[in-house]
Each structure stands twice: as structure tokens, then as C-alpha cells.
Structure 1
């Protein structure tokens, strides 16, 4: 899966002020990130507010992104949940034409044991017609998928080809990189530690900040992959304040505020999320002016 080395971006779902899906804005964002140099797109992840989208809206988002992409870069589809049977049913019935892989989050809310997590992803791997990227994000799931569980899955199932590791723990990431089978990709799911993970042997990132500033962030990742450390860290520190800001009051509220300042979309989010406050909005706007 060499095409998934580098920067992927977890696309937002832009909404109009009436909360309907804004397909024109979504098309603009797809063009913006591809023109900015990202290597692939991730559709219907957490950043897409997929938990608040109806089935019809999800299909509209998929169709809009696929049409806007025009086969320029690979697309990864988010297919996950905490009901294993339901996830397996979607994997068996969905048309995956045009997708390169699926991204599947570790089951949330149920708080399964490591064996439960293994058995969940065993069922996912056996049902999936596409390569599977595991997604570990303890801050959202309330359980940490340990490196031993990840490595076990990677060794047992050939189509489990990567993990998006978003525990924010560089030591855990390094253990994954140390013990992973050859060809397995350890992808950062945390923008702030992306460069250290890449330099330690990671394969890149599935990013939020890379959606707002694709040119700078994707170049940072490429520099890191090419071991141009000083140049890469110059870009990292150039963007570090923005990374803090876009997550300060929740995701995707922060990145949608970036898009508003860039003139790409409204900043509308759906409840229970709310917009960032005026102070943060002004700071984001000031950052964009200085960067440009």
C-alpha cells in the first residue's frame, strides 16, 4: 500500500447555514487539498461528523468526493462502529468501487478487552473486500488497542495493512514500529506528533491540520520521510500553534473555522458540537494572515 505513505486528510462534511450538506463547498475542499499536495483522502471519519449524518447524507458525501476527486488520489472510507455485526453487514453489502482501503475504528463505548478488540477486527478482516487500516483513538473510544493486539492482527490477517495510531503516545507508536511485520504501515493520527513518528519509522499521517494547510503539512511529512530533519522541523514549528488551536475547542469546529477564514466553506457544525468562540476564531484568523 505504497499509495498510503505520506499525508492523508480526514475530510470534513461542510454544512450550509441551514445544516444541509454543502456539496459545492465539499468539492472546493477536495480540490484545495489535492492541489495542496496531499497523497490521499479519508471519507466519513470522525472529522466528517459522520455520527450525525443520515444514511442518505453519507451516500451524498461519498458521491460528491468521488466525483470531485476524478481518480486523482486514493480514497479511504471510514467503516467502523461498536456493533460488530452491523459493521460486518456493511462490509458485505456496500459497493466499494473507487476505494483503496477502509479505516475502521476500535469499538467505542462498550470498552471491550484486548481479546474483544481482536475478535472484532478478526470479523472485520474476514468480511472486508478491501485492505483494512485499524484506528486506535483512546480519547474517543475509552479503550487503548495495545501494540501486542495490533501486531497479532497484522500477523494473522494479510489484509490488515496499517494502523492509524492516535493515542498521542510516542513510546507506544515506537513499539508498534519496532515490532510490526514488514510492509505494515504505522500512520500517525495525532498531528502534533506526526513528524517524530515519521522520523521513528512511521509511514505518514491521517491529518486534520493537513486539510487546512495541505501545502505546508504534506511537505513537512515528505521532508520527514526523506530524513530532511531540519527543514521538516521548521515547517512543524511553523504550524504547531495552529495544531493546538484547531483542537482547543473540539474537532471539527476548529478546522471548520479555518475553512471559513479561507473562504472555502461555512463554519457550521451539528449539535452536540458548537462553533468555536470569537476569541479563538480571531486567533485562527490572525495565524492564517501571518502564514500567508
Structure 2
């Protein structure tokens, strides 16, 4: 493709829109709804089911839901380095072939050590990821004080070839819960950080972070290393998308996006529209209530429940890799309500 017009850097990877170190120059990180894509496995062998994975990524892209690969929902802890790269490559190929060449890919690269996390960031970039999301390991949670956590994210951000999103999920990191001061401090000091996902459910924290990073002056005083990667504040649950709009947050990364992509994308769009047209607020509130109830149902059964629903809705999904168990029989009736025609109509 030759020069892409950005700092005279030559694009060496064709449709991937990436330069030699894998960093995307064309796929901007934008406000909206992102879904942590499940990793699907072949029954009996537990090999990757790439056909179902590719179909699902494209299905969501058609609903304006962008993919996060190898995250918590994607069972990253159950994947090898090679499998992570394969999933990124498969998603990029599927998106490009379906005409979604501008849809960015976020890849999970958090793991035990700083060294391996950085290694995974490089591998993700080489495979075609545009951004990475990093969670601190909870294995030594008791020893990771705020200073150690700040050093971890600073080191990763400085050495990652692509912009990094901070992932705050206490339940998946041994109870580590980054506070707003630490997150805003990192945002100010690390120009290669491009956002935070808050799966702590702390709306007050989200509000405080937005009060700093969503101010117009922030981008001027603390410019990003990649101008296509502004610092976004993203919720980790679908039940406060509308309220977060009013404190200048930027959307959410949510498991519900996998099973109700149109409803969740519509809620974000409608929430944004209410800022200009308050008459839309009652409809946005109604839809937020529906989505919140759906999100609560999904949250109770997590990965296994989401896969069960996808199997019911679309014919693929399967079960998690062991030792993670499949959904319990008694929970199927509750979660299965999503797959009933009436419920599906209300949520899509």
C-alpha cells in the first residue's frame, strides 16, 4: 500500500493496516459497545472451533459490536500463546473478508509476569490486533501494592507496540481493585494507555475517572502516543450504559453483547442521542431496564451460561474448557428464557 499518510510510515501488512511492529495506523478506538468474544471448542477434543468463532465475530460486527479476543469471557487463561495468535488472525481475516476492514481488534494479554505480558502484547500486534487489554494477575495479589501495580501497568504500556487498555476486574485478579487515583495517574503519565474497563461495577469510580480524562483539556495536556487511541472509560456491565453517558463515559465491554448485540448497540446509540434530544430519554430508560435485567441473568452463569444461550440462539457455543464446568441443569431454565421467541424480540 505504500505510505498511509501518517508520519510517512510504510504499511507492510496490506489489509491489516499495520506497520512493521504491528501497531494499527488506521483502525481508531471509538466509543461504543465491545463484546468479549467466547473461545469456542470442538466437543471431545477441546480444539478451537474456528468456524464458529469467525461466524460469531462477523455476526456481531454486523450489529456494530466490536470484538475483544482472549479476555475473561474468551477463557484466555485456558489458551496457549499459539491459540491466542490463531484467534486474532482468524478474527482479522473474517472481518476483512466480510468488509469490516475498519473494525479494530482488542486482544487480552494479561498474564502472570510483566515479562510474559509484554511478550503477549508483541505477539498480539504481530497477529493483527490493534489494541490490547491487560489485567494484573491475582496470584500474588497480597504483595501487589499500589506502587507495584503502577509499575506493572507503566512497564507494559511503555513496551507494548500497540496501545493498552487497563482492565480492572477484582473477581478475576485475586481481589485487586485499582482505585480512581491510580487509574487517572496512569492515564496522565502513560501516553500508550488508551482506556480502562471497569468490571468492578463501581459507578462512582467511573464518574471520577471521567471527570479527569473526558475533559477537553486532558487530550491537550496529555496527548496519546497513537492519535487514533484516545483514553476511553468503558463499563464492564450493561446495566449502567445510560447513566454513564451523562458523566461522559464512552460505552462498555460486555458479555451481553454476544447474545443481544442489537439491543446493546441500540442502547448506546440511544443514550448518546438523548444528550441532544431529551425527548428520547424515556425510551432509553425503558431499553436500559430491559438490558439491565438481561445482564443480571447472564452474570449469574457467566461463560457457561453465555455459551449455552449462543447454542440455543445460533447453533454454536458449546461448553467451556475443563476444568470450568458447563451450566448447571437448574440454571438452564432461567437463562433459557433468552432463547424464547418473545424474549428474543424484546432484546434484539
Do 1:209 and 1:246's aligned partners in 2 also have CA atoms closer than 8 Å?
Answer: yes
Map 1:1-292 → 2, pairs under 5 A: 3-18=29-44, 19-38=46-65, 40-70=66-96, 71-92=101-122, 95-96=125-126, 98-111=128-141, 112-141=144-173, 142-180=175-213, 181-182=218-219, 183-227=230-274, 228-249=280-301, 251-289=302-340, 290-291=342-343, 292=345
Residue 37 (structure 1) shift: 2.2
Unaligned ranges ≥5, structure 2: 1-26, 220-229, 275-279
TM-score (norm 2): 0.78
> How many residue pairs were aligned?
290
Displacement after TM superposition at 1:5 (Å): 0.6
C-alpha deviation, 1:140, in angstroms = 1.5
Aligned counterparts of 1:46 and 1:240: Cα–Cα separation in 2: 20
With a CA cutoff of 8 Å and minimum separation of 6, indicate the structure with the bigger relative contact order: 1
Shift of residue 203, structure 1, vs aligned partner: 0.3
| C-alpha deviation, 1:93, in angstroms | 5.6
Kindly state the Cα deviation for residue 204 of structure 1 after the two structures are TM-superposed. 0.4
CA RMSD of aligned residues (A): 1.9
> Would the aligned equivalents of 2:85 and 2:124 in 1 still touch at CA under 8 Å?
no
TM-score calculated relative to the size of structure 1: 0.92
What is the rounded CA distance, in whole Å, between the counterparts of 2:115 and 2:69 in structure 1? 22
Where does the alignment leave 5 or more consecutive residues of structure 1 unmatched?
Answer: none
- 1:34-79 deviation per Cα after TM superposition (whole angstroms, max 9, x unaligned): 12221x2111111101111123322222222111111251111111
CA distance in structure 1 between the partners assigned to 2:170 and 2:187 by the alignment: 19
- Secondary structure class of the residue paired with 2:73: helix
| d(CA) in 1 for partners of 2:241, 2:184 | 20
C-alpha deviation, 1:284, in angstroms:
2.5
For 2:272 and 2:136, the matched residues in 1 are separated by: 27
Partners of 1:269 and 1:221 in 2: CA distance = 29
